[in-house]
Amino acid sequence: MHFFSVKMIILRFMNSANAQQIAKIEQLLQTGQNQNIELAFVIAKGFGVGIDQLMKQSLLAHPYFCLQYFPGLYQQSKMLYFSNAQMNSLPENIGLLSHTEVLKLVGNLLSSLPESIGNLPNLHELHLTHNHLTQLPDSLGQLHQLRKLYLGYNQLTQLPNSLYRASQLHSLYLHYNHLQALPDTFGKFSQLEECYLNANKLTVLPDNIGTLKHLKTLTLHNNQLTILPESIGELAQLQMLDLSSNYLTSLPNSIRQLQSLQTLNLRFNQFTSLPPEIGHLYYLQKLILKDNPLTQFEREKIRELLPHTRIVF
């Protein structure tokens, strides 16, 4: 038998064997059972070079195992969408995705994150809304390019002190968690412009909140605040402040310093009066005071103090 004929027989046998293995992997993947799916990835991993490209679409349908066994399939991707993938954990290999700029993990079952998530040097946006997170890794502070962090609708009770080291953070979404206090380092978010803290269990704000010099939007409705720090008046760029559904009875005199403020929501509190300093908010367009125990006399005083503001009683 000629050498060429022998080579052809060997190639046919190899192709046949490959086809059988690929069929077996596909069959395991289609069962939908995690144990079988992982077995399929183990077989694929031992298959040799090229299987990840041959079966790319089938493998990508299972992001957790794909990250664990074939992270190279994602390494050149700038945007990754793993939302609603029923992932209850992230493999450490997530930290290998050095080109990723946007990572979406919305609507999963994550209760924690690996420390390796801090190894994503180009990450600009991290979406973790609607998970079961109870804590965050300190390594999030290593994400020096991070601009937007979405953490709403989780079960966080505290934030890591190191988070402020994500020095480019512009937007921070923490609504609908279980935060009882903010870390002392919270005032160090030097570039923060938007902060959503509504629907938590905050009773006080840190005294250094006034150092957030670029903050434009601050939502604190549905918390348990009874008092505001004087330093809140130092938020010179603040345009929208929502304090509705708290237990506030007074505003600090420093409120007069909020010369950029356009909307102030004080609905569902315990105000019986407002300080005369409120009259210095010359650019205030809308003031919401509905559902407060204000007398008619007090309402008229407020109208006189703010003749050009739309006031909702």
Domain spans, the chain: 1-73, 77-151, 179-313
- Please report where in the chains the tokens 């209850």 appear, as a residue: 88
User: The tokens of 100 are what?
Assistant: 């990723």
DSSP, collapsed to helix, strand or coil, labels residue 240 as strand
DSSP state of 307: T
Report the C-alpha gap between 181 and 204 in whole angstroms: 7
**Per-residue pLDDT at 53 exceeds 90:** no
Instruction: Kindly state the helix (H) or strand (E) to which residue 34 belongs, with its residue range.
Output: helix 34-45
Tell me, what's the pLDDT at 47? Answer: 74
Percent of the chain with pLDDT over 70: 93
pLDDT tens string 54-87: 788 888 999 999 999 999 999 899 999 999 999 9
Checking if the pLDDT of 14 tops 60, the result is: no
Best CATH choice for the domain 179-313 from the list 3.40.47.10, 3.40.50.1100, 3.80.10.10, 3.20.20.70: 3.80.10.10
**CATH class of the domain comprising 77-151:** alpha beta
Write down the pLDDT at residue 122: 97
The encoded tokens of residue 24 equal: 């077996």
| Residue 15: band (very low, low, confident or very high) from pLDDT cuts 50, 70, 90 | low
Provide the pLDDT for residue 50.
67
Q: Which H helix or E strand runs over 13? A: helix 3-30
Model confidence over 226-276: pLDDT tens digits? 999 999 999 999 999 999 999 999 999 999 999 999 999 999 999 999 999
The pLDDT of residue 13 is 37
Bridge partners of 103? 80, 126
Cβ atoms of 221 and 197 closer than 8 Å: no
SS3 label, residue 114: coil
In sequence order, what are the beta bridge partners of 172? Answer: 149, 195
Q: Does the structure show a pLDDT above 80 at 17?
A: no
pLDDT tens, residue by residue, 87-143: 999 999 999 999 999 999 999 999 999 999 999 999 999 999 999 999 999 999 999
